[in-house]
Amino acid sequence: MAKDNTFSGMAHNALTAETTIVGKIVSQKDIRIDGTLKGQLECQGKVVIGETGQVIGDIVAVNAEVVGRVEGNVTVAEMLVLKATSSLEGDVEAHRLAIEPGAVLNGKCTMRRSSDEDAQA
Q: What is the pLDDT of residues 16-74, one digit of tens each?
A: 999 999 999 999 999 999 999 999 999 999 999 999 999 999 999 999 999 999 999 99
Give the DSSP H/E element, type plus range, for residue 47: strand 46-49
Tell me, yes or no, whether 66 lies in a domain. yes
Rounded Cα gap, residues 29 and 48, in angstroms: 12
Long-range contacts from 108-112, C-beta under 8 angstroms, 24+ separation: none
Instruction: Report yes or no on 2 lying in a domain.
Output: no
Residue 109 within a domain: yes
CA distance 15 to 10: 16
Residue 70: inside a domain: yes
Q: What local confidence, expressed as pLDDT, does residue 12 receive? A: 73
> Considering the domain boundaries, does residue 1 fall inside one?
no
Domain count, the chain: 1
Residue-number span of the structural domain to which 64 is assigned: 9-120
- 118 pLDDT more than 70: no
Q: Is residue 23 in a domain?
A: yes
What's the pLDDT score for residue 11? 62
From the list 41, 35, 50, 57, the residue with the least C-alpha distance to 83 is 50
- Determine, yes or no, domain membership for 54: yes
Q: Tell me what percent of the residues of the chain surpass a pLDDT of 90.
A: 79
What string of DSSP letters covers 69-86?
EEES-EEESSEEEE-TT-
pLDDT of residue 117: 56
Better-predicted residue by pLDDT, 2 or 67 = 67
Tell whether 63 is covered by a domain: yes
